[in-house]
Amino acid sequence: MARTVFVFLFCAVLGITAAFSAGKKQADTSADAKTITVTDLAGRDVVIKTPVKKVNINWSGSGGAFMSMSALLGKDTADYISSWDGGLQNYRFDMWEHYRAAIPALESIPIVGGVDSNNFNLETLINLKPDVVIWTLGVRDQAMEIVEPALAKAGIPIVYIDHHAETIENHSRTTRLLGKIFGKEQRAEDMIDFYIKNITLIENRLANAPEKPVVYMEVTSTGPDKYGNTYSNNYMWGAMVVKAGGTNMADGIVKNASPIEAELVIAKNPEYIIFTGSYWPNSPSSIRMGYLSNEADTQRLLRNYFNRPGWNTLDAFKNNRVFAIHHGLGREIYDVAAVAFLAKCLHPDLFADIDPMGMLQEYYRRFLPYDISGVWMTQLQ
């Protein structure tokens, strides 16, 4: 009888101990699971569980989260991406080829497209269980009706970022937001400090600018036979022209980004023409720049644009005020180097001692897990 009671009590103690241990483990787990609340660039307060280990991103080659993630997370960047849009591969081929050589795991990231494309796969995105979806503010209108409710039902928060407005405020808020999401707040502040230090230098110099020359900008992704996009003052390269102390010829003519009529360029006769190039394999006559470029080819392709009817009569061409810059240098926190280049093109005396390419190289050296080579900024010879 005594033995039976002892066994019963022993088992009861074991049960209580096990229950206590299980409860303690559950409590510890709950204590480890933290949440943060962030305010995104759409002004929404979003609750996110941390630590964030996997995200879905869009516009990976066009001002989305990828390059900032690379600066924040270094060689581990691919480990944090559950899926993406495939934009880097499609629109920044030279950068894609170089970056995947530095981080081979980028090649294994599933492509689910973007909400603004015809290959978007929301079901696969959700099944890959990202902790957060990080998209650009430019697709919010397309995401609100169906995607946002579907993600909410799946328990996946979405935050919006913005580099396209090209403002100090949005560049800083976006970088700070991403730093908080990935637990890299100090790294984010260092990136912001780099940007503000250099953009303030540019602004201070331009306070003494005697004039704001008229500039026409065009992306060359379609080649010289078809006019490419130009930009308004509140969007991307148009905003950067204004920051660089220029007058954007297309403001009030286009909304955000679109081509304009050939006759209008001839009639306006801009003082400066600045093209953006990259490497668009499906458009071999576009201006090739970036990793897979050399100066001779870039110059040859740049000169072809002045075979357009009437373009050899433009003042910008006759006065040797034609330039080109890599299209991938806009819509990122390091685009302060692009603003410096534009400012030096338009106001060479004010910026004689400034090295825009050196500024870009410094950012790559300090923050990115990639090196940089090729032609990123040039003037028509």
Q: Is residue 103 pLDDT above 80, yes or no?
A: yes
Of 165, 166, 141, 135, the residue nearest 46 (C-alpha): 135
Q: Is residue 13 pLDDT above 80, yes or no?
A: no
Q: For residues 232 and 162, state if they share a domain.
A: no
Q: For residues 86 and 179, state if they share a domain.
A: yes
Q: For residues 75 and 152, state if they share a domain.
A: yes
Q: Is residue 24 pLDDT above 60, yes or no?
A: no
CATH code (residue 291): 3.40.50.1980
Q: 183, 218, 250 — which closes off a domain?
A: 183
The rounded mean pLDDT for the chain is 92
Q: For residues 296 and 248, state if they share a domain.
A: yes
Q: For residues 178 and 141, state if they share a domain.
A: yes
Q: For residues 222 and 359, state if they share a domain.
A: yes
**Residue span of the structural domain in which 314 resides:** 210-379
Q: Is the pTM of this model over 0.75?
A: yes
3-class state of residue 282 by DSSP:
coil
Q: For residues 61 and 160, state if they share a domain.
A: yes
Q: For residues 258 and 134, state if they share a domain.
A: no
Q: pLDDT class for 265, splitting at 50, 70, 90?
A: very high
The C-alpha torsion from 337 through 272 and 248 to 342, rounded to 10°, is 10
Q: For residues 245 and 169, state if they share a domain.
A: no
The C-alpha torsion from 372 through 161 and 141 to 167, rounded to 10°, is -80
What confidence tens digit (pLDDT) does each residue in 312-360 have? 999 999 999 999 999 999 999 999 999 999 999 999 999 999 999 999 9
Q: Is the peptide bond between 51 and the residue preceding it cis, with omega within 30 degrees of 0? A: yes
Residue 50: both structure tokens together: 């941390």
Q: For residues 127 and 232, state if they share a domain.
A: no
| Residue 14 domain-assigned (yes or no) | no
Q: pLDDT class for 33, splitting at 50, 70, 90?
A: low
What integer pLDDT is reported at residue 208 of this predicted model?
Answer: 86
Of 61, 130, 10, the residue nearest 327 (C-alpha): 61
Q: Is 279 exposed, middle or buried (0-12, 13-18, 19+ CB in 10 A)?
A: buried
User: What is the number of structural domains in the chain?
Assistant: 2
Q: What is the 3-state secondary structure (H, E, C) of 325-359?
A: EEHHHCCCHHHHHHHHHHHHHHCCCCCCCCCHHHH
Q: Among the listed ranges 10-14, 156-160, 345-349, 350-354, which one has the minimum average pLDDT value?
A: 10-14
What confidence tens digit (pLDDT) does each residue in 172-202 have? 999 999 999 999 999 999 999 999 999 999 9
Q: For residues 159 and 109, state if they share a domain.
A: yes
Q: Is residue 131 pLDDT above 70, yes or no?
A: yes
185-206 helix and 66-73 helix, angle to the nearest 10 degrees: 120
Q: Is residue 14 pLDDT above 90, yes or no?
A: no
Beta-bridge mates of residue 258: 230
